[in-house]
Amino acid sequence: MCQSPYRESNRTRGRQAVVCFLFIALGLGFGVFPAWAHKVTIFAWVEGDTVYTQSKFSGGKKVKKGTIVVYDKEGNQLLEGKTDDKGAFSFKVPKKTTLKVALKASMGHFAEWTIPEKEIAGVADSAGSRTRGGDVQVPTQQAASLTEQKATDEDSVAKAVGLSRGEIQTLIDGSLDRKLAPVLTMLSEAVDSGPSMSDVIGGIGYIVGLVGVGLYFTARDKRKDAR
Amino acid sequence: MHISEGVLSPTVLIAGAALTTAGVAAGLRKLDNREIPSTGILSAAFFVASLVHVPIGPASVHLVMNGLLGLILGWKAFPAILVGLGLQTLLFQYGGLTSLGVNTLNMALPAVICYYVFGWAVRTRTRIFVFTGMAFGCAFCAVLISGIMVGFSLYLTGEAFLPAAKVVVVAHFPIMVIEGILTAACALFLRRVKPELLEGLYVPEPIS
């Protein structure tokens, strides 16, 4: 194998070019690291008798004018609406059942969030006779008597203050909703933080690995040919 | 550009997957072992490009880079894009596993079309002006055709074609221009330092 110096320099230059190219590709990705795109997420939570939803693209850009469709457990459409400029959309609980909130943004983006019946059951009729169906059911006799005891205690407290249980419950729910609102907003912000650095490096690693596997098999072929 | 899971009808998903399989088979047949590294590097570039978010326009869009892959790889863009997209789906949750076939087709077929329309100018030694223009056009049209194909996929599932395609194409207009410039810059760079990568075939080294 005799190579002219020109050929040699050309090859090193080529290798440099490939390395440069890879760095350009990586630089493009990492230079703008916090700005991800192209996936939508929806986060829905219940406050009082209203369901709030927050929709955004992966990376935090809000989904404007995205269509929100609400289905019940059986898949019947209950209502439809559009998100505002902040990606938010809220609606009154239409039915006391498990709700599926689907987001259809433009260009084939789709995401879904399910609100279990338990969360809704607790609020839908907080004004009137309150059934505590959503609470934890304790099966044993002893525990049952304990909760009964507790319930009567609560009743006596309610009598002493001069408020019915339902009213106290509504007050507590109201203040809890207020206190928890920032937490829920934070959660809705954090529900998707976009791909992490390890995802990116992992993906590139996979591709390098695939190249390695490809070269391994072709190299074996060559050895057979040589024989 | 990534169509999510649960949007398209099963017929469209299966048709997309079948066509993608054919395209990948064609690409792998053309894949020479000396081209495996360059294909891998471009696949990695495609994988990473989707993280470059362009905050211009009405929606959230990112670079696609299928024009550059088409320009250099031709049919080999199919396996390269399949690998890149598959990893984006698994690691970033972009798109979905069932829509992987359709998504690959939507991005790789325009790459191959542009390879045939614009590739000749880049493979042969044309004047630098024509060369740059063709590289720009290749990337521009690849994204444009991809947008139209995404619109068409949605149309086959029941959305109105013109509004759907218009939304995608309008949203990606800044991307077309940016990718055109990037691809032209990449092609010029490669023409200067590694022309054999653009010429597609490696000239066999003289053995003596």
CATH of residue B147: 1.10.1760.20
Picking from A58, A106, A112, A220 by the largest number of B CB atoms within 10 A of its own CB, the best residue to mutate is A106
Q: Copy the structure tokens of residue A10.
A: 């050309």
pLDDT of amino acid A83: 84
Residue B205 lies in a domain: no
- Say which residue, B203 or A12, is predicted with more confidence: A12
Give chain B's domain count.
Answer: 1
Residue B207 lies in a domain: no
Our CA dihedral for A121, A122, A124, A126, rounded to 10 degrees, sits at 150
CA B4 – CA B100 distance, rounded (Å): 9
Q: In chain B, what residues touch A205 (CB-CB under 8 Å)?
A: none
Residue B5 lies in a domain: no
Q: Is B84 touching A (CB cutoff 8 A)?
A: yes
pLDDT digits (tens, 9 = 90+) for B76-87: 999 999 999 999
**How many Å lie between the alpha carbon of A42 and the closest alpha carbon of chain B?**
14
Residue B126 lies in a domain: yes
Mean pLDDT over residues A179-183, rounded? 82
Residue B149 lies in a domain: yes
Count A/B contacts: CB-CB distance under 8 Å: 169
pLDDT at A196 over 50: yes
CA A80 – CA A69 distance, rounded (Å): 4
Q: Which residue has the tokens 């408020």?
A: A163
Residue of A nearest to B65 (CA): A25
Per-residue pLDDT of chain B (208 residues; tens, 9 = 90+): 788 887 888 899 999 999 999 999 999 998 888 889 889 999 999 998 888 877 766 566 788 889 999 998 999 999 999 999 999 988 888 888 889 999 999 999 999 999 999 988 887 777 888 889 999 999 999 999 998 998 888 888 877 777 778 888 888 888 899 899 999 999 888 888 887 777 755 444 455 4
CB-nearest to B62 from A38, A64, A207 is A38
Q: ipTM beyond 0.95? A: no
Mean pLDDT over residues A52-56, rounded? 82
Read off the pTM: 0.70
Percent with pLDDT over 90 in chain A: 2
Q: In chain A, what residues touch B60 (CB-CB under 8 Å)?
A: 37-38, 57-59, 61
Candidates 2.60.40.1930, 3.40.50.170, 1.10.10.60, 2.60.40.730; CATH matching A40-190: 2.60.40.730
CB-nearest to B87 from A26, A104, A203 is A203
pLDDT of amino acid A136: 42
Residue B203 lies in a domain: no
Mean per-residue pLDDT over chain B, rounded: 86
Chain mean position to CA A144: 37
Q: How confident is the model at residue A37 (pLDDT cuts 50, 70, 90)?
A: very low
pLDDT at A132 over 70: no
With contact defined as beta carbons under 8 Å apart, do B196 and B203 qualify?
A: yes
pLDDT at A200 over 90: no
pLDDT of amino acid A63: 78
Phi, psi of B4 (to 5 degrees): -75, 170
Residue B70 lies in a domain: yes
Residue B74 backbone class (left: φ over 0; alpha: ψ -120 to 50; beta: rest): left
Residue A118 backbone class (left: φ over 0; alpha: ψ -120 to 50; beta: rest): alpha
Q: Which residues pair with A143 in a beta bridge?
A: none
Alpha-carbon separation of residue A144 from A47, A136, A141 (angstroms): 29, 11, 5
